[in-house]
Amino acid sequence: MGSFYDEKRAASELRKYREKGPIPSTQALIEALKAEGIEGMTLLDIGGGVGAIEHELLDAGVTRATSVDASAPYLDAARQEAASRGHDGRVTYVHGDFVDLADSIPPADIVTVDRVLNVYPDWERLAGLAATRAQRLLGLVYPRDTRMTRLVVSGMNLMLRLQGKPVRAAIRPGDTIERIARENGLAPHVAEDVGPAWHVAVFRRA
């Protein structure tokens, strides 16, 4: 997936974030987490891209964050933004696949996986490992299972295949995601559809 999430894409997403803030689904997840009273908590952001979640939650009172991403350009973009906000001493950046690195990544009060399950092949393992690291809250954003979304995903995958890109998207069943969370001691807490495409879910440790 690394060749898809390259320097050009990272720079474009960082510019858009600086101009307009988080996209609506990410903003909805951020607001849902902030409503839980996150002051003094720690964050593990998996596949966080340019770091919108970590930047916003650090501003809101999270003390420290760990960002794990398989794309070096996206981590570099996140570092740039952290430095500009004065967060660079509060974020640990880890380059690599979280599933491979999970044993070396400490748990955090909050774990977020924003728009990653839909493009990660072994998504059930990723969801389970993320859930085990969440000491209090697990926040997810993933596609809604609707006819329109299925058509969009099919069209996008065709385009990616024609372009020779390695990434493929898929819609993951929400009931399986909830089951994985429950099996790891987390209960559904927030469920919100954002626009026609995305679902935001927050699970809380019982």
Q: What is the pLDDT of residues 69-82, one digit of tens each?
A: 999 999 999 999 99
- The answer to whether 63 and 91 are in contact (CB under 8 A) is no
Closest CA to 132 of 62, 183, 79, 77: 183
Q: Rounded mean pLDDT of 10-28?
A: 96
Mean pLDDT of the chain: 93
pLDDT per position as a tens digit, 111-165 = 999 999 999 999 999 999 999 999 999 999 999 988 888 888 778 768 777 777 7
Structure tokens at 33: 């987490």
Please state, in angstroms and rounded to a whole number, the distance separating the CA atoms of residues 88 and 42: 15
Structure tokens at 103: 């044993």
Please give the C-alpha separations between residue 105 and each of 5, 51, 130, 188, in angstroms, as whole numbers.
Answer: 22, 18, 10, 24
Superfamily grouping for domain 7-143+174-205: Vaccinia Virus protein VP39 (3.40.50.150)
- The answer to whether 135 and 106 are in contact (CB under 8 A) is no
Torsion of CA 29, 30, 34, 40, to 10 degrees: 120
Please state, in angstroms and rounded to a whole number, the distance separating the CA atoms of residues 164 and 66: 32
Q: Which residues contact 175 (CB under 8 A, 6 or more apart)?
A: none
**What is the maximum span of the chain, computed from C-alpha positions, in angstroms?**
47
Residue 2: per-residue pLDDT: 47
The count of C-alpha atoms lying within 13 angstroms of the C-alpha of 127, restricted to the half-sphere facing its C-beta, is: 29
